Every structure is written in C-alpha cells, then in structure tokens.
A and B are shown apart, each in its own frame.
Chain A
C-alpha cells in the first residue's frame, strides 16, 4: 500500500493511500481536475471535503444525499451507470451533494441539480446533471423550521 501526499491549502498536506484516490475522468463541471480524495473532518458531522489531488486550492464541501434529502432519488442513465463501472447486481452507489456557503451559515445550500455520483467500491465518480423541478442548484440545507427558530426567516 503506497501513500501519496495531497497538498491542500485549507487542510495542509494530507497523506492518503493511493488506492483511496477517486477517479473522476470527466471532472467537476468547469474544472479540469480528474483526481480527488474524500477527507473526513476531525469533528464528526455530515460534511466531508472533496479535495482535488491535483490542485491544492480546489476543494468542495460535500454531504451524503441520504443525510440531507433521503426522500429524493437521483436517476442515472445507462451510460452513466456504465461509466461509473457499477456492478449491476449490487451497485455500491453514493450521491454526494456539493454545498454552497453563504454569509449566514443558516443559508447554506446544496446542489441537487449536479450531484456527484460515486462508485464507492471502485472509487469512480461523475458529476451528473439533472433536469426537473425537484433538482435545484440551491436547495436550503437547513429546514425552514430551523431557520425560523433562529429568527432568520420571516417569510
């Protein structure tokens, strides 16, 4: 098992087993990077870091869709299924939602329109693009109730 060093401007240099590098042949839309690592923050919580293994500056905060919108399903086309090299019998599939920060932390959103589909077994990922009313790019992460309780939502 060989360790590789992944420099990161936010988290310092991380040592990762090479086998844990996620391949993303088509990258994140708008970015050239093809290799990422998924880092777990020291404090437990729903948020993970999706750090580029090629650009120390590029990292996304992501959250498992099951933790956030368990009721929502994300359809894959047969082509996407194949590109992710998923096992048709037992697809080990996780959807990660990209978090967009906001000045007020209660206003952070997740992108339901462009989730990252991840083959958790083979560590191949692809950002898919979905069309439909359920899939907005800015879905509030915190429920309106929580926002109201904090007095931030008067609507």
Chain B
C-alpha cells in the first residue's frame, strides 16, 4: 500500500481523473473531498460491506420461511 502524508488543503491525484483533497483534520477524523468521473461510484467502504453482508444473509432462506411470511402478510398485518 502506498502511504503518503498530506496537510489540510493538499491533494492526491489518482490518474488524471480522480483527486482526493484533505479538507479537514479534527479529533481523529479526516474529511476528504473527492473529485471523480460521474461513472465512478464512491461509497464509504463499511456501507458497501454492510449491503454485501446483508445480501449474503438474505440469500439464505428456504420455502418454509416464505410460506410463513406470506401467511402473515396475507392477514393485513403488513405495515
């Protein structure tokens, strides 16, 4: 992993289309400003991982589960 030291206001360029600016450093938190092409999706990694993990769990089900929830939803108890 490449490790660089930067001060507030300084920028890291990744290729010619992406730049990351250190906006603020305060109490152990670094605020970053990111400029990137529209077609790049930028997430905080933990959110991406959270959705990925939820997908894995959601994929683990069987037809009995479906029978039971369908029975409940059919009784008008749905939100």
> What chain A residues lie within 8 Å of B69 (beta carbons)?
47, 61, 99, 101, 105, 108, 141
**Contacts A43-B70, A105-B68, A129-B47; is A61 near B58 (CB within 8 Å)?**
yes
> What chain A residues lie within 8 Å of B77 (beta carbons)?
142-143, 146, 149-150
Confirm or deny: A154 has a beta carbon within 8 angstroms of a beta carbon on chain B: no
Confirm or deny: B1 has a beta carbon within 8 angstroms of a beta carbon on chain A: no
> What chain A residues lie within 8 Å of B26 (beta carbons)?
none
State in angstroms the CA–CA spacing of A10 and B66 once bound together: 11
> What chain B residues lie within 8 Å of A43 (beta carbons)?
70, 74
Confirm or deny: A59 has a beta carbon within 8 angstroms of a beta carbon on chain B: yes
State in angstroms the CA–CA spacing of A29 and B58 once bound together: 12
Confirm or deny: A28 has a beta carbon within 8 angstroms of a beta carbon on chain B: yes
Verify A41–B43 contact, CB threshold 8 A. Answer: no
Residue total for A at the interface (Cβ-Cβ under 8 A): 44
Verify A31–B59 contact, CB threshold 8 A. Answer: yes
> What chain B residues lie within 8 Å of A78 (beta carbons)?
38
Confirm or deny: B5 has a beta carbon within 8 angstroms of a beta carbon on chain A: no
Verify A111–B72 contact, CB threshold 8 A. Answer: no
State in angstroms the CA–CA spacing of A126 and B52 once bound together: 14
Give the 10 A-B residue pairs with the shortest CB-CB distance, closest first. Answer: A114-B51, A146-B77, A143-B79, A30-B52, A105-B68, A29-B52, A101-B65, A137-B54, A101-B61, A100-B58
Using a CB–CB cutoff of 8 Å, the interface residues on chain A facing chain B are 10, 28-31, 41, 43-47, 58-61, 67-69, 77-79, 83, 98-101, 105-106, 108, 111, 113-114, 127, 129, 131, 137-138, 140-143, 146, 149-150
Using a CB–CB cutoff of 8 Å, the interface residues on chain B facing chain A are 38-39, 41, 43-44, 47-48, 50-63, 65-66, 68-74, 77-79
